[in-house]
Amino acid sequence: MTPPLLTVSDLVVQYHRSGAPPVRAVAGVSLDVGPGEVVGLVGESGCGKSTLARAVCGLTAPAEGRIDFDGTPVRPLGVRRRDPALTRVQMVFQDPYGSLNPRRQIGAQIADGIRTAAERGEKADGATPQQYLTRVGLPESAAGRYPHEFSGGQRQRIAIARALAARPRLLVGDEPISALDASAQAQVATLMRSLAVESGAGLLFISHDLSVVRLIADRIAVMYLGRIVETGPTAEVWDAPRHPYTKALLAAVPRADGAGVLPTELPGDVPDPAAPPGGCRFHPRCPVAFDGCDREEPQLIAGGVACRLYAA
Amino acid sequence: MRFSVLKRLPSAWRRPLAVTGALVTVFWLVVVLAAPLLAPHDPLAQDLPRLASPGAGHWLGTDELGRDVLSRVLYGARISIPLALLLVALSLLVGGALGACAGFFGRWVDETVMRVADLVFAFPTVILAMVVAAALGANLQNAVLAVLVVSWPSYARVTRGLVMGIRNREFVLSGRLLGFSPWRSLRVDVLPNVLGPLLVLATLDIGTATLLLSGLSFLGLGAKPPAPEWGSMVAAGTQQFDKWWIGVYPGLAILTVVLAFNFLGDTLRDALDPTAARTIGAEKERVA
């Protein structure tokens, strides 16, 4: 088995607030992404998946645990220039309207990515910004235009082109499709997958939309309130979810033949991550919680699920 | 930026105050360039009757040494306006650079720059400028330096705020992730996106700079006689209250310049739409 490209072990990320206990946005997560592997990270808003993505890129400093990329520990990005070895991790952000410099031509912004690869000392493959634009399905003439001339979906493809131009080995998508309309979502998601796999890069794709993640991910990790509750190959998780939370998430995915059928909703809201419930974090909302769930916190077992139903 | 300005100029520039400001500014710029052609007399020559009231031959009268007031006011523009522009450019450069570093790097850089700025803010502007000018010696270069000392902090503060507002925007972070050095990030991603509001501030400040510089000359801490400087001419006028034309006309020159640049700055601000300029145009583009 090839060693994983990205190893996240027991990661804890906290946000400090003045006069209040810190929020544990990520509370002990371990996750691997292999070369050429597409991992989909899903969970509802506020479960810490974006924080995890930012930590992987060094944009947020972890409180505990470690993150290694290709044998190099990921150091938080301060005011200094990023370690060239880490520029092989690139990110596509959520907001297509905020992720491109409004004052610079598209071509110049993609050329920045090409320069990043060159500055790492890699032999230039002679690719031009125009070629990267073509690869994401935009005309070469786009290079001379400004971001405001493009739609959200197009901008997201430009952001992907810029990230790819840096020839990353790991691409992180932080909800890259959630701001797009439905027709652009699947298109951008599958484009990200095919371009990442084509270049041999791993892809960590974060989304709250299981139905899109299912289309592109090899493996799915489900996050709830700062922890991974279930992980496994996409087909297994989709066809035979085990954790009650995964089951609830899947039940909420609208189906073509489900006209008029409302999914059964989970009772209550996501608890405050600053004061997570004791025991299993999901037990207050769990439909099958039983005696002891409010005391013992289940760990992720070898089978890839963190639930006392499956404890040995 | 160029595009949005061009598209938005017409409506904002059609207002009366905008037209007035632009016309008066253009008038004074023409005077700066063509003073020798426009002035009927040598501004330093003392060959006219002394203290003559306005009339044929000397439309704005003559001063206590027999110099033509009109010619001196016109030549005065060549001193006051270029110096005010230079001063604002220097303030923008110094205050902008310090403020951008403070906002971008934070920590001790921010603390140091902003505490020094607070120190300057704590003094009344004119008095601090007077102290600096007096300490350096009374001449025009030192007056410019003195005003620079009191004017950079406002630029530093505004720039710092603008830079802090966008340094964590996603496109700046994207650049950092691509391995931009902090300087490249500042130059390429941050500064071009905060320039709009800074230019508005600078335009509004030209009037204030003119006023401060003339004020120092009025107090004898700037231009030296016989230089035709508006502030010192007003000072001479106060010695001859019954000969009102000596002080009033250079005073009017200061007034019109200050007003014109204020109107111009307001117009520029409306044209650039500061709320949109502050959020770096993103909102507007979203609607467009």
pTM for the whole structure: 0.83
Nearest CB to A101; choose among B106, B181, B189: B189
Does an H or E element contain A54, and which?
Answer: helix A49-57
- Please name the member of A77, A115, A163 whose beta carbon is closest to the beta carbon of B176: A77
CA distance A253 to chain B (A): 30
pLDDT at residue B52 greater than cutoff 80: no
By three-state DSSP, how is residue A24 classified?
A: strand
Residue A89 CA to residue B177 CA, distance in Å, equals: 8
CA distance A184 to A150: 13
Terminal CA-CA length for chain A? 27
Report how far residue A234's alpha carbon sits from residue A218's, in angstroms, rounded to the nearest whole number: 6
Contacts of A173 in chain B (CB under 8 A): none
Residue with tokens 């409180």: A63
Distance to chain B for A14, nearest Cα, Å? 18
User: Helices B107-122 and B140-166 meet at what angle, rounded to 10?
Assistant: 130
Write the residue in B105, B174, B282 that is nearest to A102 by C-beta: B282
pLDDT reading at B282 higher than 50: no
- What's the residue count for chain B? 288
User: What is the complex's ipTM, to 2 decimals?
Assistant: 0.88
- Smallest Cβ–Cβ distance between B175 and the set A89, A112, A148 belongs to A112
Mean pLDDT estimate for chain B: 85
pLDDT at res. A39: 93
Measured between CA atoms, the residue of chain B closest to residue A147 is B285
Residue of A nearest to B285 (CA): A148
The CATH superfamily assigned to B2-287 is MetI-like (1.10.3720.10)
A77: chain B residues, CB-CB within 8 Å: 176-177
Q: Which of residues 86-105 of B touch A (CB under 8 A)?
A: 104-105
| Residues in A touching B104 (Cβ below 8 Å) | 79
Residues of chain B with pLDDT > 90: what percent?
A: 40
Q: Which tokens go with A44?
A: 């509802």
Rounded CA separation A100/A106 (Å):
8
Q: Which residues in chain B are closer than 8 Å to A148, comparing Cβ atoms?
A: 281, 285, 288
Q: What is the pLDDT of residue A264?
A: 61
Using CB atoms, which residue from A97, A99, A119 is nearest to B179?
Answer: A119
What is the sign, positive or negative, of the torsion defined by CA atoms of B9, B15, B17, B22? Answer: positive
Output the pLDDT for position B280.
Answer: 35
Residue B279 pLDDT exceeds 60: no
Question: What is the pLDDT, as a whole number, of residue B7?
Answer: 52
Query: Mind telling me how many Å the CA of A88 is from chain B's nearest CA?
Result: 9
Q: What is the 3-state composition of chain A as percent helix, strand, coil, each rounded to the nearest 5? A: 30, 20, 45
- Predicted confidence band of residue B100 (pLDDT cuts 50, 70, 90): very high
Q: Which of B169, B177, B180 sits opposite A91 (nearest CB)?
A: B177
Residue B284's pLDDT band (boundaries 50, 70, 90)?
very low
Query: CA of B1: which chain A residue's CA is closest?
Result: A103
Contacts of A80 in chain B (CB under 8 A): 182
pLDDT at B222: 83
Contact residues on chain A for B180, CB-CB shorter than 8 A: 81-82, 112
Structure confidence at residue B251 (pLDDT): 92
Query: pLDDT confidence of B53, banded at 50, 70, 90?
Result: confident
Of B173, B181, B280, the CB nearest to A81: B181
B6 to chain A, any CB pair closer than 8 A? The answer is: no
Q: Does B141 score more than 50 pLDDT?
A: yes
- Interface contact flag, A116 B286, Cβ < 8 Å: no
Task: Round to whole Å and give the CA distance between B169 and B190.
Answer: 9
Mean pLDDT of B256-272: 87
One digit per residue, the tens of pLDDT, for chain A of length 312 reads 577 889 998 899 988 888 788 888 888 888 999 998 999 999 888 788 899 999 999 999 999 999 999 888 988 888 888 888 888 999 999 988 899 999 899 999 999 999 988 888 777 677 889 999 998 989 999 989 999 999 888 999 999 999 999 989 999 999 888 888 888 888 889 999 999 988 889 999 999 888 889 889 999 999 988 888 999 899 888 888 888 888 888 887 777 665 555 556 667 777 777 778 888 888 888 888 888 788 878 888 777 888 888 765
Mention every residue, 6+ apart, whose C-beta is less than 8 A from residue A205.
A38, A39, A40, A41, A173, A176, A189, A192, A193, A213, A216, A217
Confidence of residue B255 (pLDDT cuts 50, 70, 90): very high
Please report where in the chains the tokens 């298109």 appear, as a residue: A187
CB pairs under 8 A between A and B: 82
pLDDT of residue A312: 56
Outline where A143-267 has alpha helix (H): 152-165, 182-198, 210-216, 234-239, 244-251
Inter-chain contact B288–A82, Cβ cutoff 8 Å?
no
* Contact check, Cβ <8 Å, A98/B188: no
Q: Which residues of B touch A101 (CB under 8 A)?
A: 171, 175, 188-189, 192-193
**Domain A6-310: homologous superfamily in CATH:** P-loop containing nucleotide triphosphate hydrolases (3.40.50.300)
Give pLDDT tens digits for B197-237.
898 889 889 998 999 999 999 988 888 888 889 998 898 88
End-to-end Cα, chain B, rounded Å: 14
| Class of residue B201 by CB neighbours under 10 A (exposed 0-12, middle 13-18, buried 19+) | buried
Domain range annotation of chain A? 6-310
| Interface contact flag, B179 A162, Cβ < 8 Å | no
Neighbours of A32 (CB within 10 A): 18
